[in-house]
Amino acid sequence: MDSPLNHKNKYVGRLILCALLFLFFWSFLLPIWDIDVWWHMASGRWIIENNSLPSSDPFSVFSAQNKIRTDIVLKGQWLGQIILYEIYNYFSDDGLVVFRSLLLSSFLLLTYIRAKLLGISESTSLFLVCLIGFNLFGFTGLRPQLFGFAFALFVFLLIDWVENTGKTRYLLLLPAIAIVWANTHGSFILGVVLLFIYSILNFFEYGSKQNKHQINPGILFVLAVSFALFAYINPNGFQAVRYIFELQISDLQSRTSEYTSALKIYTLGYPLAQSWIYLFYALTLTALPGIFRLSPGKAVITLFLGAISIDSFRYYLFFILISGPYVMQAIMQYDRVQIFSNSLSDITPLKYIIPLIVLFGAFILLQTNYRTASVPHNINASRYPTVLSRYCSDKNLRGYMFNYFGWGGYLIWNLYPNMKLYIDGRMLDDSKLDKYMNMLWATEEGVQYFKNEHFDYVMIPYFKPGTKQVYALNRYLQSQADWKAVYRGNHGLLYRKTGVPK
């Protein structure tokens, strides 16, 4: 039976946890900045309006040259796209910002629950919440991938819950999770791989005394197989696997920032984010021997996720969300750490002081290094051509437009179907990106490509973002008698070809 003092300690810990969750929730209320959220929502809108999934690009930007890629991008995230669209449809950009903040904060709450299931101390659990919270700032883009993180975290929460309580029946939720995950985001394949790794290695560690209630290896393997089978109840079935493997060896990786190594985020201009990543990798290396002693399956999963995160930053959040509690659990098992922790717990005031220090430190860091949204400005106007887009809508302009790559999704969302765009962030056709770059910089080849396309409008920034380097296409258009700059907006210009109806 718990003593009144223990109840009091838990009460203080819960209060500090609530304060931390509120601090991070408020700090996650960042303006929408992701260039992809708009084409995701435009896809969700199209699916709702047409009551079907597209078989070809509904926005007429790309041809179906690569059928596997086309199928995955157009159909593989349909449920996530509908959810994002419906949130915006009912609650506008306010709803999207609040939804993202609630979702990210729920990751922290579930992490705390897992930490307590694994027997991690209050102070260490709160520290883990903060560590993951600061890492989450690198994943505040609004896209279906957020749902993939949530499903992965929930799967391993189920495993930890069953190993703590022995209630194996809760694992029957896995097939249902697989179906929803597979229709929301392509990361379900990672879930299949991780479950198979854990279920196979569970055969070898079954019977150890590390867990209160080990999961029967036969049951776990059957559920892993069921998860894989149910996951392929999606519009693309087994072709999704082919696409993932194609993507890993494609030229697209070298052109996309999210495929940067988790150890090289500083090269993109994020030194603060890099410090949290280095800290977690250092903790993981320290904890690995202990994780192997506790559970070889969880150790292999940690190694696997750490390795693919080194190759690509997009997997890093899976790494820290799934393996974070295991890392802290292993570190707490080391003799010197236990001795130090026990000595602190014998000093009653420190039971309150250390969690309060964690809370205070998080508060100071959040206030000094992370900005919150300035309501009602929930859209980062520096990322999108808001003024130019509004001008096109107000004038009801129609035609074929060469556009800046990063603005494509936003323009699809606002100008479809009146304006056909040249390119957007879906990257369905690698060859089109090469032509785009040549046109943007008005190379000899690019000028010929530009003439062959017979554009009616051009909407591009004047300067390359972050520099004062003028895009050469601006100078080219200003030197041509048949092109005229008709409107200047935030960060860019709109050109119209002579003869195009106003």
Judgement on whether residues 257 and 400 belong to the same structural domain of the protein: no
Q: How confident is the model over 410-458, as pLDDT tens digits?
A: 999 999 999 999 999 887 777 788 999 999 999 999 999 999 999 999 9
7 within domain boundaries: no
Confidence of residue 369 (pLDDT cuts 50, 70, 90): confident
Q: How far apart are CA 124 and CA 333, in angstroms?
A: 12
Can you state the angle between helices 386-394 and 408-415, rounded to 10 degrees? 30
Q: How far apart are CA 429 and CA 426, in angstroms?
A: 9
- Is 109 a residue whose pLDDT tops 50? yes
Domain boundary among 369, 396, 411: 369
Domain boundary among 308, 338, 369: 369
Average pLDDT, integer, range 95-109: 96
Within 13 A of 495's CA, how many CA atoms are on the CB side? 23
Q: Where are the beta strands (DSSP E) in 422-474?
A: 457-461
153 within domain boundaries: yes
Confidence of residue 374 (pLDDT cuts 50, 70, 90): very low
**Lowest-confidence region among 54-63, 186-195, 349-358, 443-452:** 349-358
**pLDDT value, residue 364:** 80
Q: Name the more confident of 378 and 67.
A: 378
Judgement on whether residues 263 and 348 belong to the same structural domain of the protein: yes
Judgement on whether residues 255 and 161 belong to the same structural domain of the protein: yes
Judgement on whether residues 423 and 342 belong to the same structural domain of the protein: no
Q: Where are the beta strands (DSSP E) in 330-475?
A: 399-403, 419-421, 457-461
Average pLDDT, integer, range 316-323: 97
Instruction: Report, in angstroms and rounded to the nearest whole number, the Rg of the chain calculated over CA atoms.
Output: 25
306 within domain boundaries: yes
**pLDDT value, residue 21:** 95
CATH number at residue 462: 3.40.190
Q: Give the CA dihedral 360, 141, 86, 95, nearest 10 degrees.
A: 30
- Is 236 a residue whose pLDDT tops 50? yes
276 within domain boundaries: yes
491 within domain boundaries: yes
Confidence of residue 224 (pLDDT cuts 50, 70, 90): very high
Judgement on whether residues 292 and 360 belong to the same structural domain of the protein: yes
List the helix and strand counts (H, then E) for the chain.
Answer: 21, 5
Query: Which residue, 393, 420, 421, is CA-closest to 406?
Result: 421
In Å, how far are 20, 24, 81, 83, 233 from 47, measured between CA atoms?
A: 39, 34, 9, 11, 18
Strand-pair partners of 47: none
1 within domain boundaries: no
Average pLDDT, integer, range 318-334: 94
**pLDDT value, residue 166:** 86
Average pLDDT, integer, range 299-309: 96
Q: How far apart are CA 389 and CA 366, in angstroms?
A: 34
Query: Which residue, 350, 352, 288, is CA-closest to 323?
Result: 288
Q: Are 23 and 365 in contact (CB under 8 A)?
A: no
How many domains would you assign to the chain? 2
Residue whose structure tokens are 């890099």? 274
Average pLDDT, integer, range 105-121: 95
Predicted TM-score of the model (pTM): 0.91
Q: Name the more confident of 2 and 217.
A: 217
365 within domain boundaries: yes
Judgement on whether residues 275 and 351 belong to the same structural domain of the protein: yes
Single-letter code of the amino acid located at 32: I
Judgement on whether residues 164 and 72 belong to the same structural domain of the protein: yes
**pLDDT value, residue 5:** 46
DSSP 216: P
Domain that holds residue 397: 381-497
- Is 344 a residue whose pLDDT tops 60? no
**pLDDT value, residue 10:** 66
Q: Which of 63-67, 185-189, 455-459 has the highest mean pLDDT?
A: 455-459
Q: How many residues does the chain have?
A: 502
Domain boundary among 341, 369, 397: 369
Q: Are 191 and 275 in contact (CB under 8 A)?
A: no
